[in-house]
Amino acid sequence: MLESYSRSWTEIDYDAIEHNVREIQRLVGKTKIMGIVKANAYGHGDVECTKALKKAGVDFFGVSSVDEALNLRYAGIKDPILILGYTPEEHFHYLIEENLIQSLVSLEYAYKLDAYANTQKTKIRCHCKVDTGMCRTGIIYQEQEKNMDAILEEYRLSHLSVEGIFSHFPVSDDLQEDSVSFTKKQIELFQEVCSQLVQAGIQPGIKHIQNSYGILNYGDLGMDYCRPGLLYMGVTSDDSIPIASDPDFIPILSWYANVSLVKWIQKGQTVSYGRHFCAQKPTKVATISVGYADGLHRLVSNQGLCVLIHGKRCPIIGNVCMDQCMVDVTAVDEVKEGDVAVLIGRQEDQEVRVDEISRIAKTINNETLSNIASRVPRLRKRGS
Ligand SMILES: Cc1ncc(COP(=O)(O)O)c(C=O)c1O
């Protein structure tokens, strides 16, 4: 592997996952961890993250689709993999061939899967998805509509092996009273479903409901598994949102780009497309090799977002271009072509957190991180 890249690259500290997993475990007690590695582990490398999670004791993984599951299988991951999303009928055969676990997105879908398994004279492994308030996938079980019969029906289909049950939180990140009571109601509804299954003589299987904020704000709910994604990567969706616990996570991803040119411009000269930055005085400008095609949101153009160069904060000026952007380096005496700019991470005693990008781009860290383009190489942090 190359030491560094000429344009832009990330460096990932896979070893820090072990620390982050320990922190999660501290919050959830005996609840086990299902590592969510969908979307290439939010851009952090699905296979590498899965291996690091395994090393930290994680024994179950969640992905969004069958192709993501195959990616793990072809890399030699033999552990249980739950597909959280929809698998189209023409791909049902992979579920059997690769011993994958499919979420039941609806009762109609369960019927289709059952019929297919019947034709193959086998059973397909599944988890029942209960919709307690997200209104995305699963059988609705909410105050307004409790479809318990449909849930029972899924468990009774003879060619499905329903080994678990789960639900998902839409507002576990929010500690306002309204959102907390909504989330608590979801937990109650989920437990009600599980009790009714037991009363009907059916074992619900493994139970899981908590995403990252569900872990941070609701701790040990006595479930069998929890499903963190972002948290084992050492960040939350938004640092400014208060949380109910006091964890100590290590962000695992740093993002860099090289300086390709340094030059002085004079008062009145403008920078980049649209000419939105106009120098008010002689200004030293560095061009860095990262742009919106690398995943740096164009929305951060000229908004004061800083990168670090020689440990100093340097604001992006003018519009972010496809492959490049410009920063004001007037305050950095020693800057030169080939220097490294830090978009996310530490340099000397300074740090830029992914939150700074997300806040200006009016999004959450989940999106900023998973949007880092595939052309940006992911390097393993030395020693990790
Ligand atoms: C069903 C499900 N579970 C768990 C997660 C993990 O979420 P987070 O990254 O917030 O922990 C997701 C992510 O969106 C999800 O869709």
Mean pLDDT across the stretch 342-369?
Answer: 98
**Ligand 1 contact via 211 beta carbon (within 6 Å):** yes
pLDDT in tens, 197-217: 999 999 999 999 999 999 999
The one-character DSSP state at 143 is: T
* Integer CA distances (angstroms), 201 to 8, 108, 197, 198, 374, in order: 57, 23, 6, 5, 48
Q: What is the topology classification, in CATH, of domain 253-352?
A: Lyase, Ornithine Decarboxylase; Chain A, domain 1 (2.40.37)
Residue 1 has pLDDT above 50, yes or no: no
pLDDT in tens, 281-321: 999 999 999 999 999 999 999 999 999 999 999 999 999 99
Map tokens 């030491």 to a residue.
Answer: 3
Which is the closest atom of ligand 1 to the Cα of 212?
11
Closest CA to 64 of 81, 83, 92, 78: 83
Residue 3 has pLDDT above 70, yes or no: no
**Ligand 1 contact via 231 beta carbon (within 6 Å):** yes
Residues 6+ apart with CB under 8 A from 229: 36, 37, 38, 41, 42, 211, 212, 366
Burial track 248-280 (b if 16+ CB lie within 10 A, e otherwise)? ebebbbbbbbbbbebeebeeeeebbeeeebebe
What span, in angstroms and rounded, lies between the C-alpha atoms of 300 and 309?
Answer: 18
Domain range 14-233, CATH architecture: Alpha-Beta Barrel (3.20)
**Ligand 1 contact via 41 beta carbon (within 6 Å):** no
Q: Hey, what amino acid is at 107?
A: L
pLDDT over 70, % of the chain? 98
pLDDT of the residue at 6:
72
β-pair type (139-142, 145-146):
antiparallel
Q: Would you call 273 a catalytic residue per the annotation?
A: yes
Q: Choosing from 38, 129, 207, 284, which is the catalytic residue?
A: 38
* Residue 178 CB neighbours (<10 A): 9
**Ligand 1 contact via 216 beta carbon (within 6 Å):** no
Band (382; pLDDT cuts 50, 70, 90): confident
Angle (deg, nearest 10), helices 107-119 and 148-156: 10
pLDDT over 90, % of the chain? 97
Which is the closest atom of ligand 1 to the Cα of 84?
1
pLDDT of the residue at 384:
60
Mean pLDDT across the stretch 52-57?
Answer: 98
CB 273 within 8 A of CB 320: no
* Helix or strand (DSSP H, E) at 32: strand 32-36
**Ligand 1 contact via 291 beta carbon (within 6 Å):** no
20, 34, 36: which to mutate for ligand 1, most atoms within 8 A of CB?
36
What span, in angstroms and rounded, lies between the C-alpha atoms of 270 and 274?
Answer: 9
User: How close is the Cα of 22 to the center of ligand 1, in Å?
Assistant: 19
Mean pLDDT across the stretch 23-40?
Answer: 98
Mean pLDDT across the stretch 153-169?
Answer: 98
- Looking at the whole model, is its pTM more than 0.85? yes
In the chain, the N- to C-terminal Cα span, in Å, equals 14
* Helix or strand (DSSP H, E) at 359: helix 354-360
Domain definitions of the chain by residue range: 14-233, 253-352
Kindly report the length of the chain: 384
Q: Would you call 51 a catalytic residue per the annotation?
A: no
49: left (phi over 0), alpha (psi -120 to 50) or beta: alpha
Burial track 293-313 (b if 16+ CB lie within 10 A, e otherwise)? bbbbbeebbbeebbbbbbebb
Residue 94 has pLDDT above 50, yes or no: yes
pLDDT in tens, 313-324: 999 999 999 999
Which is the closest atom of ligand 1 to the Cα of 38?
13
What span, in angstroms and rounded, lies between the C-alpha atoms of 112 and 92?
Answer: 10
**Ligand 1 contact via 344 beta carbon (within 6 Å):** no
Mean pLDDT across the stretch 171-185?
Answer: 98
pLDDT in tens, 33-46: 999 999 999 999 99
**Ligand 1 contact via 36 beta carbon (within 6 Å):** yes
**Cα–chain-centroid distance for residue 187?**
23
Which is the closest atom of ligand 1 to the Cα of 215?
11
Residue 13 has pLDDT above 60, yes or no: yes
Which is the closest atom of ligand 1 to the Cα of 42?
9
Nearest CA to ligand 1 atom 13: 229
In this chain, the answer to whether the domains covering 14-233 and 253-352 adopt an identical fold is no
pLDDT of the residue at 278:
98
User: How close is the Cα of 152 to the center of ligand 1, in Å?
Assistant: 25
pLDDT in tens, 227-281: 999 999 999 999 999 999 999 999 999 999 999 999 999 999 999 999 999 999 9
Residue 383 has pLDDT above 70, yes or no: no
**Ligand 1 contact via 234 beta carbon (within 6 Å):** no
Residue 2 has pLDDT above 70, yes or no: no
The one-character DSSP state at 245 is: S
Q: Choosing from 74, 267, 273, 362, which is the catalytic residue?
A: 273
Residue 5 has pLDDT above 80, yes or no: no
**Ligand 1 contact via 230 beta carbon (within 6 Å):** yes
